[in-house]
Amino acid sequence: MLCLFDLDGTLIDSEHGITACVKHALARLDVPTPAAEELRRWIGPPLRHSFAPLLDHDAERIEAAVAYYHERFDTLGWREHAVYPGIEALIGQLRSAGHQLAVVTGKPQHHAAPIVEQLPFGAAFERLYGPHPGSAHSEKATMIAAALADFGADPAGAVMIGDRDFDIDGAVANRVNGIGVLWGFGGRAELEQAGASAIAATPDELAALLLG
């Protein structure tokens, strides 16, 4: 089976790094920072999508905010994460069982690559898919389609695993089973509404779903 994994909120807890970079960008633009709970919702959607309402949908200011975000992310933010407990064991089990693994993330590929490479299980992933740096859209559906083509996988023999509705939307668009996880930044209602075929509360539950 082809197992496609989201990165932030699924493999790694990147809340501190992402929110610190958002705060940095808003401070550079002299814009008040939203409450912590609101900032959690920024993890998953494209940055431009999240910055837009705070910046009056001003395209120039949105691009400046994205640039300021990456100013900090490139030096500090990409290191500020932790692997969720149980994930390393899960990835090892999937590899031992012969499944093919890839990462499909909302992070631009050149930002995600160093993160995946330094994960203790990073070598288990055969490919990494990320959107174009200038994109204002999630592109999960496009990236999942590319993964199916690259691996020569039938949609019925693939699964997309993620914590946000964007992940499930991309799976549904490709007739791939989307499994939602509850240890990230989404929630059960969001995942169910998007059409998740199953939901796992822990990596052990996810292992049971994937390995039978």
How does pLDDT run across 1-60, given as a tens digit for each residue? 999 999 999 999 988 888 988 999 999 999 999 888 888 777 777 888 889 999 999 999
Per-residue pLDDT at 204 exceeds 60: yes
Q: Residues with Cβ < 8 Å from 43, sequence gap 6 or more?
A: 8, 9, 14, 15, 18, 19, 164, 184, 185
Topology of the domain comprising 15-79: DNA polymerase; domain 1 (1.10.150)
Pairing of strands 198-200, 158-162: unpaired
Mean pLDDT of the chain: 92
The pLDDT assigned to 138 comes to: 61
Domain boundaries, the chain: 2-13+82-211, 15-79
Give the lowest-confidence range in 52-61, 75-84, 120-129, 174-183: 75-84
CA 104 to each of CA 44, 55, 186: distance values in angstroms, whole numbers, following the listed order? 11, 28, 17
CATH code of the domain occupying 2-13+82-211: 3.40.50.1000
The pLDDT assigned to 134 comes to: 62
Which helix (H) or strand (E) segment holds residue 37: the answer is helix 36-40
For residues 164-169, average pLDDT:
95
Distance CA 102, CA 163 (A): 16
Give me the phi and psi of 4, to 5 degrees please: -100, 125
At 92, the pLDDT band (50, 70, 90 cuts) reads: very high
The closest alpha carbon to 98, from 120, 124, 127, 123, belongs to 124
The closest alpha carbon to 34, from 65, 76, 12, belongs to 65
* Three-class SS state of 124: helix
The pLDDT assigned to 137 comes to: 57
Question: From the CB of residue 181, how many other CB atoms can be counted at a distance below 10 Å?
Answer: 28
The pLDDT assigned to 135 comes to: 60
Distance CA 48, CA 29 (A): 15
CA atoms within 13 A on the CB side of 201: 0
Prediction pTM value = 0.86
Per-residue pLDDT at 136 exceeds 60: no
